[in-house]
Amino acid sequence: MGITERKTKEKTELKALIMSAARSLFLERGIGETSIRNIAERIEYSPATIYLYFKDKDEILHELHSQGFREMGAQMGVLMAVSDPVERLKALGRVYIDFARKNTEMYDLMFIAKAPMHYLEKMAEEKWSEGKTTFEFLSNTVAECIAAGRFAGHDADSLSFMIWSCVHGMVALEIRDRCKGISGETPQEIFRGAFETFVKVIEGL
């Protein structure tokens, strides 16, 4: 089936082309300032063509959000080399915060924006697999810490959720511009202090 094969290849290629145009525009100008027409213009196709490859804009944003999770997952994956679970947990916090601050638009899409979640609702999916996988990486590490006799009196899931909330809260506040003028420090200083505190708290648990 040489011909239908080429056909499907062309289909996935144009789909990938749309994705890459969407992504670059998205990183350049932000999610709110990227329209279907912008994407179509960049790849020199008509706007309507995009709808032959994606159901709607939310589907594109969801796919981009999944890309982000794959990239973040790759960065977190190398932490498996850290054998001590407490050290791994601290490094995980560091990697998470770094990823968020170096890829703010991606992080926004992954954890803050509403749009990519609408895709799940339309598909009647109730589970957020990307988030679940990432959370399990954290909760497994926390469970290892507990198994090693640390974090006495804490439940792995609740503590994991609190740790996640803690690092997410930091970067979410900065990404959405809620740190301006707080305690007169620069973002650099705020995050240095915040991460130091994070590490101290983890060690003191």
Chain residues in the site for its own copies (CB under 8 A):
32, 111-114, 117, 120, 126-129, 131-132, 135, 139, 153-155, 157-162, 164-170, 172-173, 176-178, 180-183, 185, 190, 193-194, 196-198, 200-201, 204-205
Work out what residue 38 binds among DNA, its own copies, none; the CB cut-off runs from 5 to 8 Å by kind: DNA
Distance between CA atoms of 6 and 49, rounded to whole angstroms?
19
Work out what residue 57 binds among its own copies, DNA, none; the CB cut-off runs from 5 to 8 Å by kind: DNA
Distance between CA atoms of 136 and 185, rounded to whole angstroms?
34
**In sequence order, what DSSP letters do the residues of 47-76 get, joined into one string?**
HHHHHHH-SSHHHHHHHHHHHHHHHHHHHH
* Contact status: 19 vs DNA (CB under 7 A): no
Assess contact for 57 and 36: CB atoms under 8 A: yes
Work out what residue 3 binds among its own copies, DNA, none; the CB cut-off runs from 5 to 8 Å by kind: DNA
- The token pair that represents 92 in the structure block: 């995980």
- The token pair that represents 82 in the structure block: 């850290």
Could you tell me the CA-to-CA distances from 121 to 51, 108, 130, 166 in Å, in that order?
19, 19, 15, 27
* Contact status: 56 vs DNA (CB under 7 A): yes
* Contact status: 90 vs DNA (CB under 7 A): no
Work out what residue 102 binds among DNA, its own copies, none; the CB cut-off runs from 5 to 8 Å by kind: none
* Contact residues for DNA, defined by CB under 7 A: 3-4, 6-7, 10-11, 14, 34-38, 44-49, 51-52, 56-58
